[in-house]
Each structure stands twice: as structure tokens, then as C-alpha cells.
Amino acid sequence: MRLPLKRLYTAQAARVAFGQSITTTPLHLAMAYAALANGGKLMKPRLVTELTRGDKVVKTWAPQTVRQAVSPQTSAQMMKMLEAVVTNGTGRPAAIRGYTVAGKTGTSSKYRAGAYVGSFIGVVPAAPTAKFRAVILVAIDEPQGAFFGAEVAAPVFQQIATRLMSLKGVAEDDPKWTQFNAAHTPIKN
């Protein structure tokens, strides 16, 4: 049985209201978060930054700004809101000792009953003065048991980000562990 177009569009509009029927690629989502972390500047993605032959650099690809996607003020405000998600919201399991994380959990249901995607996307270190920043997206497709992004994806983000900061030797932007300690303080009712 096929639905008339008007009824189909009405049903789709209803699903959009709670986040279904809107799709994006992981790359586009990462680009959006990178723009927020970069003062609102949307950058052209690069998979390769340079080509080398031995010790000689043969070709480089410089960063390219696509456009100013949001104002620097909006970017700063959004980053503070995303930091709050990790400090005292659903993103607490993503908190990292020594670093400020800005991010968001996500849980989406699929059209099949009992099927979900749990996700977390974040920026680390979140301080605007950081010399190195990473955007990491973790999406767990159809996790078994727990399925909320905070339960299945944020801890994976935390492990990946902790290891990356160590491997890259990135200076801590929260040496007193302010966010980490706040995120791990029990919630009082």
C-alpha cells in the first residue's frame, strides 16, 4: 500500500521534529564541529597534508577556508555549551584528565524496533588557545545491551582522545583537571 504524497510528507515532517529523517555524513558532522572549534571558519577537508619521497616533501596541501559558517561569537558560545555537556551533562564519560572536551552525545533509533546508533562527537582540547585540536566522532551501530551515546560511545571517545593527546604530546589545557573532576562528581538530587 502506497501512501499519498501529502500524507507521506506530513509523516516525514513529524519525524523531522524529533530528529529522524535528517541524514548527514560523518565527514559533514566532523566539519561542522571543526568549524565551531575554529572560530566559525569552515575548512575544506584534507585527507592528506603532504606527499613525501624519502625525506623530501614532493607536494603539500595547505588548509583552505571555505567560508565563515557562523560568527566567532556564535562559535565561542556553542563551544561553551558543548563543554557544559561534558562537565555536567550526558557527555560526562568523555571527560579527560588534563584536557577540556566539548562535545555532544547522540542516540538515534532506527526504523527497526530495538535498533539504535549511539554516538559521541567532541573536540579536544577545547580551549581556544590550543595549538593542536582534534575532532573525534564515535558512532556505535546497533550496540548490544546499552545503547545510549553516553554509555557506549563517550567512553570510547575518552579512550581514543586520551591516547591521541599522549601520542601527539599535546599540552594540557586543563592542568588542574577542573572539567574532569566536575564531570566525576556525583549528581545531587
**pLDDT tens string 49-88:** 999 999 999 999 999 999 999 999 999 999 999 999 999 9
Strands 56-60 vs 116-124: parallel, antiparallel or unpaired: unpaired
Over the stretch 115-173, which tens digit does the pLDDT of each residue have? 888 999 999 999 988 888 899 999 999 899 998 999 999 999 999 999 999 999 999 99
The sign of the dihedral angle between the CA atoms of 34, 37, 40, 44 is negative
Residue 8: band (very low, low, confident or very high) from pLDDT cuts 50, 70, 90: low
> Which domains can be identified in the chain, with CATH numbers?
23-183 (3.40.710.10)
pLDDT at 22 (0 to 100): 62
DSSP string of the chain?
-PPPHHHHHHHHHHHHHTT-S----HHHHHHHHHHHHTTTEEE---S-SEEEETTEEEEE----EEEE-S-HHHHHHHHHHHHHHHHHSTTGGG-BTTB--EEEEEEEE-SSTT-EEEEEEEEES--TT-S--EEEEEEEES-SS---HHHHTHHHHHHHHHHHHHHHTPPPS-TT-HHHHHHTSPPP-
The sign of the dihedral angle between the CA atoms of 11, 15, 17, 23 is negative
All three cell numbers of 48, joined, read: 592528506
The CA distance from 27 to 189, in Å, is: 39
The pTM of the full predicted model, rounded to 2 decimals, is 0.83
Per the CB < 8 A criterion, the answer to whether 105 and 117 are in contact is no
